[in-house]
Structure 1
């Protein structure tokens, strides 16, 4: 799944450059990770964020931004997810997120 964040003037954080606000990029990547977990793992409830670490690699220009999540590992209670966001080329990411999420255990139905 590739998530898309269309550009809009309201997401500019630094009007001098102009650059997309870091909080917008962080929230976009976090939502991408949660959506990928819901789609892939078929959770009954939305996973909860335990912690995230974000690396801002370059300024987000006033363009459409894309993100893709890769689930590294899903255990009984915790999932580890890596997300990369890019604009022009996927090989040149503008930000990356590593996160741990609390997933609900799968219930065994009789």
Structure 2
């Protein structure tokens, strides 16, 4: 079964684990994706291995950044019904507050999509969506 078949099956069943398996880093982080109101929401379940500062404790900035980049890749695959994973051109991340030792959520917005390049905005939050932990912007090469 190729990627497009897995994506179509996931959209009809609501089980996106087969798509997550296509991105080993997403699987390593423990990223989950689910459809809500015709949009995609991503979850990074809390795991001790994602803690950076054990004194606070706070999520590692790299785990937050990796989660947001992975969410954007998955969102593009879902929205475009891609046969291949897009390639990251650039990625810019702003940390707004510490990520607590709990689940992290993300939403992505495709701000512009051409034939070869897509621009995506990502937002990550925990308790309150209006108080983001981090926001990111990225450009992806569409294969």
Normalising by structure 1, what TM-score?
0.92
Aligned with 2:74: secondary structure? helix
- Count of residue pairs brought into register by the alignment: 104
More strand by share: 1
Alpha-carbon distance between aligned partners in 2 of 1:22 and 1:39, rounded to the nearest angstrom: 26
RMSD: 0.6
Q: Which runs of no fewer than 5 residues in structure 2 stay unpaired?
A: 1-39
- 4+ runs of 1 displaced by more than 3 Å? none
- After superposition, the C-alpha distances for 1:2-60 in whole angstroms (9 at most, x for unaligned) are 10111111111001111100000000000100011001012211100000000000000
Higher RCO (CA 8 Å, separation ≥ 6 residues): 1
Q: Which runs of no fewer than 5 residues in structure 1 stay unpaired?
A: 105-110
